Amino acid sequence: MSRITKYRTCNLCEAICGLEIEVENNQVVSIRGDKHDPFSQGHICPKAVALKDIHEDPDRLKKPIKKINGEWQEIGWQEAIDEVAQRLCAIQSQYGDNAVGIYQGNPSVHNMGTSFFSPNFVRSLKTLNRFSATSVDQLGHHLAGDQMFGHINMIPVPDIDHTDFWIIMGGNPIVSNGSLMTAPNVGKRLKAIQERGGKVITIDPRHTETSEKADQHIFIRPGTDIYLLLASINYILQNNKQKLNHLEDCVDATQIAAIQNLVSPYSIPMASNATGIDADVITTLINEYSDATRAVWYGRLGVSANVYGGLCHWAINVLNILTGHFDTPGGSMFTSPALNLANQKSRSKKFNRWQSRVDGLPETGGEFPSACMAEEILVEGEGQIRGFITSCGNPVLSVPNGNRLDQALESLDFMVSIDIYLNETTRHADIILPPATGLETPHYPSGFHNLAIRNTANYSAPVLRKEEGTLYDYEIFIGLQKAIEKIKLSEEEQKKNESYFQLTPELMLSMGLMSGDSGVTLEQLIQNPHGIDLGPLQSQLPKKLLTENQKINLLPEIYIKQIKTASSRIYDQSDQLLLVGRRHLRSNNSWLHNSYRMVKGRERCTLLIHPIDAQKRGINDGQKISVCSDVGEVNITAEITDEMMQGTVSIPHGWGHNRNGIKLKVAEDNAGVSMNDLIDNKLIDELTGVSIISGVPVDVKV
């Protein structure tokens, strides 16, 4: 059979790079960047080739397996689906709908079938116990969208292709290729800012790979971002530096006055004391940012998952709005996606409509923070989770306090996992249902076009033929929903969903494209396999706003309490070190550690520690050391480096593939440790319920 070339959007991370894939005999021969993709223009990162590794991984499951007397045995699809439906229904019938919980991992949004078909399945379960990777670190962004702009998916992104001044706070986009900001080849885009005379500044407890390329790096003590942000708002208002420009009519002036009053305790000396940043550096930063013609302030994980993560994202939006850097080229802007996830139809306030049973944490967008997942399973009482579903996620490694969740999953009456691996999480399942993998499925990255710094649209047909006897993920969701409805609903009621069960991802996409303004159709996308360019981001306010009065709600009620109380929080500046996470280019959360190409080379799961902190504790470079927090301990190799701010240490997330019962071949030798074993799920941002990942107190000793 001859060799053919196919084009596809990489579904591994948010950057949605275009790939050119050579295929022969239904096997991948090579993977390169697609030079004709209008967005990524040939860029790829080393992870792209791991798509082949995942597809060919001998550890990948292809048939359902069931645990029988502690041993895994292959079973047929219908038998597996029927048993899952029967077990889940039996639990719900005995203990109520909330007795079944579900966790959806990060790959869910990188998969067209799961994105389109899992929501209906989840709704059909009628459980409030829904969790996902979203709540590990991004609820603050969604909450600000919901409260300020009228939709949970109205998340503004930095227009980095047109800005001249980019502040990156708590993010490392050279490595992540953008997070809640889809931007392939950030390195090239960052360089372009500098070449047009602009400036890039990073603010982070670690001198990151992005800091290395930036014009200036500012160290900040973890968890103190809010003081810099509120002091910046105060400084701008006090010095009459605000300029709303075309947003004058979109903002209520009384709210600005109220904000000025609320932020008045946050002075630059106070911010300097809290953050560890010199007061003159702060003043220069705010002046340069507010005076720049085209500037944008962007905050990501280090900001999102700290004690005031939710409030920080409100503050970042307020700063961009007050300084005239919002909804304008080069500032913080909304996208115009061909498939619009934020439209009038789906608008409604989606926060704190109900609370979690044990800890009383608020729902956001219909889900509870993953911080309370283990408690909802372990703590007895009405509504306790007894049956659980995981879909393409490994929360034992990827949510805070993995050990507690490990223990919780083991206690369940029944668990099913939709996953291609037997891993640290799915080992607790009774049945595993493995879907066809990325290269065998069609793809349209709907979530990421909504967050992209340029408007494009790209549909990918499957690259490889699906193996006989395997099922697509959407077929699994439909199969489960049908089987559950067969048990729960009358024949008459079941008929209502008959037409839905006939849908395919392509039909869903075709209908979804009608929600956008671009007029792009599926047929056009099929005819343009490299993707369609829909142009740069455009100013869209007030038309785009989905608030009831079509104005920006600059001061939502939910933020006021924290603005009032944050000033009295005393930060312990004792000798205890503060832990932050980090990400590597060849790592994708916990996804790729069974690809030898991604884990080979020098040990990467190390503890970064500043030379003075290491010296104080008698730690040598390369030495095995112990790191303890209130909830756990890990043993890890020390890497002494002045890229860390003194008083802080860093461990990468997503590692720790060394728990009992797993047999992944590569992971055995390159396990690393799970940073999440040190994170206390009970230490949360009280507003959003997101666990504090950035700035966790730890002791480090030999």
- Binding stretches for ligand SF4 (CB under 6 A): 10, 12-13, 15-17, 44-45, 47-48, 177, 184
d(CA 380, CA 399): 22
Q: Which is nearer to ligand SF4, 11 or 401 (CB)?
A: 11
Which tokens go with 80? Answer: 């597996």
CB 218 within 8 A of CB 73: no
Cβ closest to ligand SF4, residue 282 vs residue 598:
598
CA distance 592 to 565: 42
DSSP string, 262-306: HHTT--HHHHHHHH---HHHHHHHHHHHHH-SSEEEEE-HHHHTS
Report d(CA 343, CA 307) in Å as an integer: 31
Residue 32 C-beta: closest distance to ligand SF4, Å: 10
Distance of closest approach, residue 48 Cβ to ligand SF4, in angstroms: 4
* Residue number with CB closer to ligand SF4 (184 or 383): 184
- For the CB of residue 40, give the shortest distance to ligand SF4 in the complex, in Å: 7
Using CB atoms within 10 Å of the CB of residue 102, give its burial: 0 to 12 exposed, 13 to 18 middle, 19+ buried. Answer: buried
**Minimum CB separation from ligand SF4 for residue 173, in Å?**
11
Select 219 or 591, whichever has its Cβ closest to ligand SF4. Answer: 591
Q: 283: Cβ–Cβ under 8 A, 6 or more apart, which residues?
A: 235, 268
In the complex with ligand SF4, the residue whose CB is nearer, 56 or 291, is 56
What sign results for the dihedral spanned by CA atoms 328, 297, 651, 585?
A: positive
- Residues in CB range of 438: below 8 A, 6 or more apart: 11, 12, 51, 54, 55, 110, 111
- Give min distance, CB of 583 to ligand SF4, in A: 12
CB of 576 to ligand SF4, least distance (A): 36
Nearer to ligand SF4, 16 or 231 (CB): 16
**45/305 with CB nearer ligand SF4:** 45
Cβ atoms of 179 and 171 closer than 8 Å: yes
3-class SS letters over 113-133: HHHHHHHHHHHHHCCCCEEEC
Of 451 and 638, CB closest to ligand SF4: 451
- Nearest approach, Cβ of 589 to ligand SF4 (angstroms)? 11
Task: Write out the two tokens for 661.
Answer: 């019962």
Alpha-carbon distance of 238 to 416, in angstroms, equals 56
CB-based contact 334:296 (threshold 8 Å): no
Give least dist CB 15 to ligand SF4, A: 4
In angstroms, the CA 146 to CA 350 distance is 7
Residues 6+ apart with CB under 8 A from 103: 131, 132, 370, 373, 388, 389, 390, 391, 393, 395
Taking the complex as a whole, the smallest distance from the CB of residue 51 to ligand SF4 amounts, in Å, to 8
Shortest CB 672 distance to ligand SF4, Å:
19
Residue 637: phi and psi, rounded to 5, are -80, 135
Residue 386 vs 653, nearer CB to ligand SF4:
653
> Judged by CB, which is closer to ligand SF4: 12, or 649?
12
Q: Which is nearer to ligand SF4, 44 or 679 (CB)?
A: 44
**Structure-token match 């203990």, residue found:** 95
Least separation, in Å, of the C-beta of 178 and ligand SF4?
9
First to last CA, the chain: 59
Minimum distance, C-beta of residue 186 to ligand SF4, in the bound complex (Å): 9
Cβ proximity to ligand SF4: between 186 and 545 the closer is: 186
Tokens of 550: 């079509």
The two structure tokens encoding residue 87 = 């077990």
Residue placing its CB nearer to ligand SF4 in the complex, 111 or 481:
111
Provide the minimum distance between the beta carbon of 20 and ligand SF4 in the complex, in angstroms, as a whole number: 12
Q: In what order do the strands lie in the sheet with 295-299?
A: 216-218, 199-203, 165-169, 295-299
Instruction: Give least dist CB 38 to ligand SF4, A.
Output: 15
Look up residue 185 and give its two tokens. 């080849």
Q: Looking at beta carbons only, is 10 or 700 nearer to ligand SF4?
A: 10
Distance of CA 111 to the CA centre of its chain: 14
Of 489 and 585, the one with the shorter C-beta distance to ligand SF4 is 585
Residue 567, token pair as written in the block: 């000033």
Taking CA 182 as the corner, what is the angle to CA 178 and CA 183, rounded to the nearest 5 degrees? 70
Could you list the beta-strand ranges (E) of 94-177: 100-104, 130-132, 157-158, 165-169
Distance set, CA 419 to CA 75, 150, 363, 549, 676 (Å): 15, 34, 26, 44, 21
Least Å distance, CB 298 to ligand SF4, is: 18
